[in-house]
Amino acid sequence: MIGNFPYVTVAVSIGCGLYILMFQKNLIKLAIGINLIESGINLFLITLGYRKGGVAPIYTQAPAGKAMVLPTPQALTLTSIVIGVATSALVLSMAMMIYKHYGTIEVDKARRLRG
C-alpha cells in the first residue's frame, strides 16, 4: 500500500531544494534550499535502513522477539545532520557578512566578481 512513497518524498524534497537553488534569488532562501536537499537525503538514508516489522537497534528494554532495523544508515545520518547544521551556520554567517559589505542579499546584485 505504501509502495515506494518514501523514495518519492525524497525525490520531491531534493527537487524542491534544487528548484530554489536554480530559480530563487535570495541568499537566505538558498540556504533553506540546501537545508531541504539535506533533509531529503537524510530521509533517503534512513529509509534504506528500514526493515518491516523491525524495532530500533537498541537492546535496552526492547520488546522481545522482533527483528531490528539496520543500524548503519542511522550512524551515517547522524553524521550528515551535524554536517548539515554546520553548513547552514557557515552559509548564513557569510550571507550576513555579504549584507554588511554590499547592503543587499539579492543574488542579482551581489555579484561583483564576474567575467
Positions in 32-51 near another protein (CB under 8 A) = 32, 34-39, 41-51
Tell which positions 5-34 bind another protein, by CB under 8 A. 5-16, 18-32, 34
Grid cell at residue 15: 527537487
87-106 footprint of another protein as x/- string (CB under 8 A): xxxxxxxxxxxxxxxx--x-
The C-alpha atoms of residue 28 and residue 55 are separated, in whole angstroms, by 38
Q: Give, in order, the Cα–Cα distances in Å from 99 to each of 58, 86, 94.
A: 47, 20, 9
Q: Nearest approach, Cβ of 65 to another protein (angstroms)?
A: 9
Q: Nearest approach, Cβ of 77 to another protein (angstroms)?
A: 5
Query: 114: buried, middle or exposed (CB in 10 Å: 19+, 13-18, 0-12)?
Result: exposed
Q: Nearest approach, Cβ of 104 to another protein (angstroms)?
A: 9
Query: 31: buried, middle or exposed (CB in 10 Å: 19+, 13-18, 0-12)?
Result: buried
45-84 footprint of another protein as x/- string (CB under 8 A): xxxxxxxxxxxxxxxxxxxx---xxxxxxxxxxxxxxxxx
Q: Nearest approach, Cβ of 103 to another protein (angstroms)?
A: 8
